[in-house]
Structures are given as C-alpha cells and as structure tokens.
Structure 1
Amino acid sequence: MLLLALDTATPAVTAALHDGTSVVASSCRVDARRHGELLLPAVDRVLAEAGTRLDAVTGIVVGVGPGPYTGLRVGLMTADTFGLALGVPVHGLCTLDGLAYASGLDEPFVVATDARRKEVYWARYDNARTRVTEPAVDRPGDLDLRGLPAVGAGALLYPDTFPDAREPEHLSAAALASLAAEKLAAGEELEAPRPLYLRRPDAQVPKNYKVVTPK
C-alpha cells in the first residue's frame, strides 16, 4: 500500500504519503490564496522525500471539506485526475475528521475551522476517532458547546465561544493519510470523493449582469 493524501479545504495546502504502516513523507504550507499554485509542488516534494514515483501510488485520499468552494475543489479535482491517470481508487475523508484524529484527544471535544463570513465549520466528537454530529456551518455566537475543548483555526479565532482552544490549528495530510490507512486496514469503507460545501460559493454572478447578443 502507498497512499497519497491531499487536502485543500483550509488555508493549509498539504500532501503526504503513507505506506500502510507509517507516514513516509509530508508537506504543509499555509496560504489561503495559493492552493492551485502550491499543491502539485507539495506532491512533488513528498514523492522526492520518499524516494518514489507517482506511478507507485496505490490509492488517493482527499479531504472533502467542509471548506470554501475555490480552495476545496483544487484538491478534489487533483485527486480525481491522479486517480484516473493512475487507475487507482480515490477515497474521501471529512477534513474535520482529520483534524480530530491529529488531536489525539480521548474526551468529548469540538473541531472548528474558519468558514469566513464570521462563521465556522464545526462538528462534535466523543474522541479523536468518533464524530457524533454532522459537519455544520454557524456563527460562533450561536453555538452552545458547554465549554468543550476545541481544535482548529476556527476555535483559535473565537476565544469567547471556544475558551479551551488547542492545537492543531491546521490539518496536515499526514493525519488524513494515517486515518485512512487505519480505516482501510480495518475493512471500513471510506467516503466518496465529493465536496462538502455546506453553503453556496462566495463568488456570485452580478444580479444586473448585462447579456450582449449579436445583432
């Protein structure tokens, strides 16, 4: 097994390789505006660090969000392209689940990422491997989380709602790859690689858009 994991659902542009036993290489750059520019170089770095080639990969794992439309689709489209070119399966995993897994917490907690517009993408967990609510997007002030610990950039942005904010701030594909490898080894079926947007794209066609037709 050699899994290539990718995630662009948050400002972190991240890639990793997992050989079925452990992470053999990983890369993470935080830049919310350069997902498309940074992802393929990240893949090149992890392949070079592992001393292998792309055609040795036996499966792709991609974070499906929730996340902003523009960034999220970069990772998903890249994963689909690799899967088609290599003839290997493409597996999806919730980005929040990757952050939860990376936390290593063995108590109830929350994962919250920055959804912009003064909102967060969030979900509750019983422990690092068990999500108990569906991912949602809300204003932090509308949430009553009873003082639960929280991880993720969204938690760090809103200390009034998440007073017990902890690391990690951003997802590393190393955690996503490790979680996927663990689930696959246990015979679990992973999600389809389909985007979890939760709301409409930020970019909209202007309402008074003028259509010009040829005379």
Structure 2
Amino acid sequence: MTHTLVIDTSYGSTVGLVGHRPIIETDSRTHVERLQVNIAKACEQAGIQPSDLTRIIVGTGPGPFTGLRAGIVTAKALAFATGAQLIGQNILDAQALLGIIRNNDGSLTPIAQHQAQTSDDGADKAETTERRLILAVNDARRRQLYFELIDAQAYRSALQTSQPAEQRRQLATLIRMDIDYPDSIVQRVNQAAKQLHTVAGDYRIDIIGHGAQRYSDAWNQLEQAYTILDASLPEQGKEGLQAFAELAITQLNGGATPAPAEPLYLRRPDVSVPNPLKHVLNHGAATAADTH
C-alpha cells in the first residue's frame, strides 16, 4: 500500500498523509518548530509509522528562505531515513490547478475527472466560450508577490499529456514564475492578456493564492474582469492535499525524472561581499589574511 506524505512550507506549514485531512500552521513564527511534531501527528492519525512512508512530496516554493528551507531539509532527511521517493512540487503550479478544479461551491473536482472531460477531437467539453487566465501568487513579503500567469485551457490540456513537467508548463504559461511588485505585475498581466485577446477573444482572470486579497487594490487596474481566491491547494482539506500530490505525481508520466526537491527563492540573497578594509597610514588595503 502506498503512503504519501505532503510537506509544504512555502507559506506557513501544511503537513498531511494523502487521504487524510492536513495539519496546517499559518503562524510563520512557530511553524518551523512544530513541523516535525506535526509530521509525527499526521502519521499517527493515519495509523502508520514514518518508516511506512513510500513517497514524500515537498513544496519547493517559491517562498521565504527560512521556512521553505526547513520543509525541504526535513523532507530530504525523512526520505533518506525511510527510503521513500522524494518529489518536489512548486506551489504556483498548484495554485493554478486550484483555479481549474475548484467549483463555485468551494468543492474540488478530482483531476482525473477533468482529464476525462475531452471530446474525441481533443476539445475540452468543460471549457466555456469565455477564456480564463489564472494569476497564481504567493506572498513574498516586502510588498512583493511571487507569481506566474497561466492559460487555464492550455494548462488543463497539458495535464493530459505524457510530456515532462517542464514542457507541459511551457505550453500553458504566459508569464513565467517571477517576483515583482503588485502594480508592476498588473502591467505585465495586462500586456500579456491583451496579446492573447487579439487571438482568443474575451477572457477573465482568476487571482489565486496567499496575498491575493492583501493587494486587492492593485487588481483594480486590471483591464478585464477578475475574481480573487486567497487560498492554496494544500489548505483545501483532504481533497486539496490529494490534488497537490496528484499534480506532483503527473511529473512521472512517460518515465520522466521527478522534479528535484530544491528551493525556489527567486529573490537575490540579502548578503553581499563586503568592501575591502580601509588601509592604515601608508599601507594598502588590508586583506582577510592581514586580520589574523
């Protein structure tokens, strides 16, 4: 029997066994300390031992340095100790998936059902005449957002292919994963959507993820209708955890190598190389060796 553990610390902390409700910590000041405790609790609730795990799926961000690294390091250590398969999954693709599978009543449709909703000629029977774009975001702090812009119709079609994950992503992505200020994001989205409009006609924009509500004033500058959902896929309960895991597992289609569990920061580090030490009297600039 397969036991799949999901760990995502790109925003707060979400831990859970697929098939069970996740344990969520939204307080960024405590989620790192509680991560291992919650993993043990999730295994206990599922009636298994950590040694029973067969697969671990870890969120790779983008997200803040400290919290993101804690989740990934924990996942790597646990996979090494248990022999479980380790798969990385970025959170923005998961947010985009949420925009596709979430129903008006808040429930989530299984991915397999969306994959089956195609006609013989490959057209998506669930897609309306109105095209949807999904602006997936995650709070990057410092008044910035991690984001990417996805064509919902192309994304759904890409899920049905056996191509490697990176190739599938390219088919659906209008703006690749990046970090920027909300006002600048709006300008970039307007430009990309305007180009698409000349080809595909009318569209609307779904803005999904942590920070979507926080920067709602900026979205008023969007040139087309939009809706906001301030949530993430792992936080949508048992069904969301299942969908997050299924998305990561689709990377294995066609025998492709799973995405590495490496953090996506997107922001340059705050540290920098210091200036040379000031010279004294007639001596030249001091070097590191001179200070010992």
- Length-normalised TM-score, structure 1: 0.83
Structure 2: stretches of 5+ with no match in the other structure? 103-126, 159-171, 191-203, 221-225, 236-240, 278-287
Cα separation, 2, equivalents of 1:168 and 1:57: 31
The equivalent position to 1:83 in structure 2, one of 66, 79, 83, is 79
- Is the 8 Å Cα contact of residues 16 and 22 (structure 2) preserved in structure 1? yes
Of 86, 92, 97, which aligns to 2:93?
Answer: 97
Q: Which residue does the alignment assign to 1:108?
A: 133
Alpha carbons of structure 1 residues 165 and 87: separation in structure 2 relative to 1, 3 Å: same
Structure 1 residues 188 and 108: CA distance shift in structure 2, 3 A: farther
**Structure 2 counterpart of 1:180, one-letter code:** A
1:151 to 202, 208, 213: 208
- Asked whether the equivalents of residues 4 and 16 of structure 1 are also in contact (C-alpha less than 8 Å), the reply is yes
Answer whether contact 2:212 2:230 (CA < 8 A) is retained.
Answer: no
Which structure 1 segments of 5+ residues have no match? Answer: none
Asked if the contact 2:56/2:79 (under 8 Å) is kept, the reply is: yes
Matched with 2:178 is 136
Structure 2 residue 229 is the aligned partner of structure 1 residue 167: yes
Letter in 1 for 2:180: D
Q: Aligned partners of 1:185 and 1:142: how far apart in 2?
A: 36
Query: Which has more strand, going by share of residues?
Result: 1
**Structure of greater Rg:** 2
Instruction: Please give the per-residue CA displacement for 1:107-151, whole angstroms capped at 9, x wherever unaligned.
Output: 321111111111100011222656513210001111222362201
Instruction: Give the structure 1 partner of residue 168 of structure 2.
Output: none
AA partner of residue 267 (structure 2): R
Percent of residue pairs bearing the same amino acid type: 31
CA distance in 2, matches of 1:70, 1:2: 27
* Residues matched between the structures, number: 208
Partners of 1:86 and 1:207 in 2: how far apart? 42
Q: Quick one: distance in 1 between partners of 2:79 and 2:4?
A: 11
